[in-house]
Structure 1
Amino acid sequence: MKPRLNPFAAAPEPMKKWLDFGTALAAEHGLEPSLMELVKIRASQINGCANCIHMHTREARAMGESEERIYLLDAWRESPLYSDRERAALDWTEALTRLAETQAPDAVYERLQFHFTQEEQVKLTLLIVAINGWNRVSVGFRTVHPAGGAGS
């Protein structure tokens, strides 16, 4: 894959604002860090963003997330390794990431409501918006993840 351009070099001010938005969102989130990383990884899997998958799997492992849960994330529905709260968040992530196909179904939203407060629903939704935005920047401009072995 050949990178197209470096958006930080091409438009540093808007990219800094976008980065600041994501950083502030994560700092003020109040959601479990492990849940946030699972959401970022899952959206990135759906969008085929190798750079974001690389980044967020590393961050999840650094937080103590198990390799098994990371490996099975693409098949979370078939695995007992995820809590009901995580399942609701992952389902919402998939519904919003695939919005054109799903139209954010009522049943998915009802599960979300059961496990998340209204404030958490908004915060989770903004997190999903942010990672989908990063995926589009990275995939669109062909950002290449750092090369290296499994431990990189």
Structure 2
Amino acid sequence: MESKIIAAVSEHPELYDTSCCHYRDIAKRKLAWITVSKEVGISVEKSRRKWKSLRDTYLKQSKKEQVDEREDEAAAVMPQEKEDSENGKKRHKSRAAVCEKDMKIQEQLFLHLKRHASSAPAPIASRDELFLSSLVPSLQRLPPQQKERIKFEIHKLIYEAI
């Protein structure tokens, strides 16, 4: 079903492309969702929820990958570049670069979702896995040194409890 929704929504840029001239046209978007729901064979509301879920899953995954890439880049930063960033010098992206990045993310979303839509569903996680997964976003926002200290403390607590 995921691949059907992805294929159906991809035919209607007014549903996902913020640069599309019809993106803010509520009537066009409503008609597009009706068309998508007919193609997929489920209600408009279920189609919208399923699409939102797929999109959010993809965005979370791509953010996680970006964080991983940043950590790899940070490890490769030269000493002089580290000093510059510590002194408050920041690089700003141009608006065109941001728009280009948004378009690439949307393209990657469709490719990623098409690839994973046909794969077997993931096994249901245990309550412990769900709890630990809920901590990941907060942990990712921390500076690397503090993140490592907290991970160590968690290991220590578990070790002491055993």
Larger radius of gyration, structure 1 or 2?
2
Same-fold call, TM cutoff 0.5? no
* TM-score normalized with structure 2 length: 0.29
* TM-score normalized with structure 1 length: 0.30
If asked which structure has higher relative contact order (CA below 8 Å, sep 6+), I would say: 1
